[in-house]
Amino acid sequence: MKTIGLLGGMSWESTVPYYTTLNRLVAERLGGLHSAKVLLSSVDFAPLEALMRAGDWGEIGRLLAHEAIVLEEAGAGVLVLCTNTMHKVAETLEAAVRIPLLHIADVTGTAVRAAGLTRVGLLGTRFTMEEDFYAARLARLGIDVLTPPADARALVDRVIFQELCRGQLLASSRSAYTEVMQELVARGAEGIVLACTEIGLLLGDAPFPVPLFDTAVLHARAAADVALA
């Protein structure tokens, strides 16, 4: 079994389900008392969030690359960056280590295509929705991306940082997200990519007319596959 290097804490609320999902899947596949071999570097999110707002992605890349190196030197065989937004600096991390980075957008895109879909709505932080580092990765797999209008993007982003990253799961925000998703479906989205690892915590298992792709769950499953390959 390969050792999985989790680079988390962004936010820690969604890093916990990564750990839980990995261990559950390994136990299901190997049986008995088996669990995943995991190394975790959990960063302090507040300084990184301030750098995000300041647009200093170079410093973010430097800080996260350092953590990736620590995980590699500790024995990780694959790197899992437990956040969608920070994949904006994925290439910086890949350049810093010799072990592979399991890219969350590639994992998600593969799941979308496996479901037979080619057009999806994208929910995430404003960085993920408004910049092309994520959508372009999906486009390479032949997937068209729809994003909400500006006011809805602001709402989605506000809920992520002011509520979900702080463990607040409000019914009013769940309802607001559902309306945003319904608008995307009305515009032609065949599925919705939850491109922020906390969104699945808010929506839970509530039924929706089109498939929802919980990137945190998909990412953790893919990491388990790599570890057990």
Report the catalytic residues.
83, 196
H or E element that contains 60? helix 57-74
Q: Distance between CA 39 and CA 25 in Å, rounded?
A: 17
| Distance, CA of 189 to CA of 177 (rounded, Å) | 15
CA 153 to each of CA 42, 101, 142, 149, 184: distance values in angstroms, whole numbers, following the listed order: 27, 28, 24, 6, 12
Task: Please give the backbone phi and psi of residue 108, each rounded to the nearest 5 degrees, phi first.
Answer: -65, -45
